[in-house]
Each structure stands twice: as C-alpha cells, then as structure tokens.
C-alpha cells in the first residue's frame, strides 16, 4: 500500500500499485479526480496534476528522471506544441521547431545540434523533447549547486 495526498484538499488516500503505470482515483472527501503515475524504473508514485493540453506530452519521473510517458494525441504523428513535465511540474513547452519556452514564456537559449534539426517531424519532436528536458534538468542541478 502507498499513501499519497489529494492535490486539492490534502486528504490522504491509499492505493495498491497495479501492473499499470497510470491509475485514476477520485478523492473521497472532495471528489477531485486525480491521476497517479508510477515510474517503472524506480517504482516512485506521484499524483500528476499537470494539464494535458499539448498534442505531444513527455512526463519524466521527478525522482530518477526516467521517461514515464511520451504520447501524442495523433498516434505516431506528434505535433507542436509539445509539453515537457518533470513529475507534475511543467518544465518547458515547445511551440515551434526552434522555439523553446520555459513556464514563464521566456525563450530558452538552446542550441539544437544539426543532426536533430533534420528528419521528419516525428523524429525531431521525439528526439528534441528528452534533449530539451535534459538541458533544463542539468541547468537546475547546476543552479542548486551554486546555492
């Protein structure tokens, strides 16, 4: 059994981990629908509160940074914008082929290697998303070390 907390009212709830990485749950106190994601690599679970509004979504575990989910509304034809999450926290969204914005809509200065700029839309997005996420996570780690 694992205990997590409702992101709306804070009431604890327990659940049995299933063989699926995603588990839907409604809070018994406030009725808030929640999605629990479990990392298959480190077995860490968390309530995903991110908004699934991007056609292409990448979700990384907030503990081990393993990619939990990489999906597209259009099957195997991902389109822009792409949303990149670490746990429930939005790290970045990609609005165009070369426009990378952080959560405050500030442009990120990411130099994309030439080999990643070539190829189909599918190849570019599914290669760029982990690349951009790694860049941001490395940048955050470096900033924490400075503090």
Instruction: Give me the residue spans of the domains in the chain.
Output: 1-49, 51-147
Q: What does pTM read for this prediction?
A: 0.74
Work out the burial of residue 67: count CB atoms within 10 Å of its CB; fewer than 13 is exposed, 13-18 middle, 19 or more buried: middle
Residue position matching structure tokens 């189909």: 120
Mean pLDDT for 113-117 is: 72
Chain centroid to Cα 11, Å, comes to: 24
pLDDT of residue 22: 67
Band (pLDDT 50/70/90 cuts) for residue 55 is: confident
| CA-to-CA separations, 142 to 38, 104, 138, in angstroms, rounded | 27, 20, 6
| CA-to-CA separations, 105 to 33, 90, 99, in angstroms, rounded | 28, 12, 10
pLDDT, one tens digit per residue, over 92-103 is 887 765 678 877
Higher pLDDT: 97 or 33? It is 33
């Amino acid at each position: 059994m694992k205990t997590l907390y409702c992101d709306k009212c804070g009431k604890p709830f327990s659940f049995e981990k299933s063989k699926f990485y995603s588990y839907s749950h409604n809070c018994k106190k406030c009725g808030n629908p929640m999605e629990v994601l479990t990392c298959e690599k480190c077995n860490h679970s968390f309530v995903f509160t991110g908004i699934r509004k991007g056609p292409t979504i990448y979700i990384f575990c907030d503990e081990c940074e393993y990619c939990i989910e990489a999906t597209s509304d259009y099957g195997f034809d991902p389109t822009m914008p792409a949303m990149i999450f670490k746990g429930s926290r939005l790290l970045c969204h990609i609005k165009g082929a070369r426009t990378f914005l952080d959560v405050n809509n500030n442009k990120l200065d990411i130099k994309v290697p030439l080999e990643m700029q070539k190829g189909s839309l599918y190849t570019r997005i599914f290669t760029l998303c982990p690349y951009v996420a790694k860049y941001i996570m490395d940048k955050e780690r470096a900033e924490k070390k400075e503090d």
